[in-house]
Amino acid sequence: MTSTPTAPSSTAVLSRRDVVLLGLAAGTTVLAGVLHYATHTAVLNFVVAGAALAVLASLVGRAVDALGERLGAAATGILQSALGNLPELFVIAFSLKAGLDDVVKSTIVGSILANVLLILGMAFVVGGLKHGKQSFSAEQGRSLGLMLVLAVLILSIPALTSSLHTPAEGHERTLSVLVSVVMLALFALSLPATLRRTTDPAAHVASPIARDLDTAAAVREAEQHGEWPLGLAIGLLALAGLGAAFVSEWFVDALQPAIETLGINQTFAGLVIVAIAGNAVENVVGIQLMARNQADYAVQVVMQSPVQVALTIAPLVTLAAPLLGAASFTLVLSPMLVAALVMSALVAVLVINDGESTWFEGCALIALYCAIAAAFWWG
């Protein structure tokens, strides 16, 4: 069962965890920068930049939480929606600029797969081994599941017209733009529910897009934040965001040489490696929350990310592509990517709709993830 989060015991500005995080962030970022400017060791650069990215993503996440807590309830949800996937957005933007279209598409899909199958699966396994069968709000789960399925289906329409050779072939750019507008409109329409939920926790309005007050508090407690004053929160957010921008560029720069050295293809790199690095935050937080038997919040944190990626990041990237010199970018995913997306959305809905989780269900999710990843090993 889910317990109400209590006030954090620490009253310091920076908790011990915060200090460790800041240190890691600074360290890895500096190291990634040194490697980028000074050397050409492809794989090392790639790994260090990836690690720095994961840490910076965690820092961005905490700064956003702290900021939201200071600015008020409504801001928490909106900010988390806007900035929660910031590092991933940078990586995708830089990849697009570098002309790595395959990486962009497989990162978008991989991010959804990683959350829905791998991270949710690991969270279920950890929580199940520790607490046996866990329960969570089936109603909120259903809402998230429906949003995910809709986002996945709409996202797959350009790919379907292309691979099924309908007369829409040749117009994929236009169709991708249309589809992007529809998805952004859906996202915008979901914000009122978000606002209502974050300002009035008693209003049982299931918000599929953004964290609500209780979830944010639970996350904060699980991660043992300190109490950050407003200035510190804004400052660290800006620094972390700037750092993420730089490190993303170094990461994308090192990506192609690294995967050539390792003999991995672009699609697998985006689908598995980049996606997991970019979602390290949800991974850690989700497992922490399940381990603390707060399955409700865990499911929300893990499931909101792929919905946001599908409804905001994919459309924004499509619409902004001409600005990044990739005016012909379309949302035409390869058929295998579409199949992977649909499979994972289907399984997610089945697993979440009953409001219960067992460690075995978690194993099953991870098994499907491994099988899908294996299918992309060769491209």
339 binds a second copy, rule: CB under 8 A: yes
332 binds a second copy, rule: CB under 8 A: no
- Which region, judged by CB under 8 A, interacts with a second copy, from 4-12, 180-188, 226-234, 282-290? 180-188
262 binds a second copy, rule: CB under 8 A: no
351 binds a second copy, rule: CB under 8 A: yes
| Least Cβ distance, residue 188 to a second copy (angstroms) | 10
270 binds a second copy, rule: CB under 8 A: no
Number of residues that bind a second copy (CB under 8 A): 57
186 binds a second copy, rule: CB under 8 A: yes
The residue written with tokens 């995708």 in the block is 92
- Which region, judged by CB under 8 A, interacts with a second copy, from 23-31, 54-62, 292-300, 346-354? 346-354
- Which residues, other chains included, contact 262 with Cβ-Cβ below 8 Å and sequence gap of 6+? 43
- Which region, judged by CB under 8 A, interacts with a second copy, from 21-29, 78-86, 178-186, 300-308? 178-186
Select from 283, 312, 334, 357 the one that contacts a second copy (CB under 8 A).
334
Cβ nearer to a second copy, comparing 324 with 375: 375
379 binds a second copy, rule: CB under 8 A: yes
146 binds a second copy, rule: CB under 8 A: yes
The residue written with tokens 């965690």 in the block is 58
Spatial CA neighbour of 183 closest among 345, 342, 331, 341: 331
- Which region, judged by CB under 8 A, interacts with a second copy, from 32-40, 73-81, 86-94, 143-151? 143-151
Q: Tell me the DSSP string of 231-291.
A: HHHHHHHHHHHHHHHHHHHHHHHHHHHHHHHHT--HHHIIIIIIHHHHTHHHHHHHHHHHH
Site string for a second copy, 359-378 (x = CB under 8 A): -xx-xx--xx-xxx-xxxxx
139 binds a second copy, rule: CB under 8 A: yes
Query: Residue type at 369?
Result: Y
324 binds a second copy, rule: CB under 8 A: no
| Least Cβ distance, residue 152 to a second copy (angstroms) | 10
Distance set, CA 42 to CA 28, 103, 135, 364 (Å): 16, 17, 45, 35
In whole angstroms, what is the distance from residue 318 CA to residue 321 CA? 5
In whole angstroms, what is the distance from residue 334 CA to residue 202 CA? 44
Cβ nearer to a second copy, comparing 34 with 370: 370
Residue 13 per-residue DSSP state: S
The sign one gets for the Cα dihedral 79, 76, 3, 307 is: negative
- Which residues, other chains included, contact 359 with Cβ-Cβ below 8 Å and sequence gap of 6+? 124, 125, 127, 128, 129
149 binds a second copy, rule: CB under 8 A: yes
150 binds a second copy, rule: CB under 8 A: yes
Looking at the chain, list the stretches that DSSP marks H as alpha helix, in order from N- to C-terminal side: 16-38, 42-71, 73-83, 86-97, 101-113, 120-131, 138-163, 172-199, 213-223, 230-262, 266-268, 275-278, 280-291, 295-308, 314-320, 335-353, 359-375
161 binds a second copy, rule: CB under 8 A: yes
| Least Cβ distance, residue 379 to a second copy (angstroms) | 3
Q: What is the Cα gyration radius of the chain? A: 20
Query: Residue type at 59?
Result: L
Binding site for a second copy (CB under 8 A): 139, 142, 145-147, 149-150, 153-154, 157-158, 160-161, 163-164, 166-168, 170-171, 175, 178-179, 182-183, 185-186, 189-190, 193, 265, 334-336, 339, 343, 346-347, 349-351, 354, 360-361, 363-364, 367-368, 370-372, 374-379
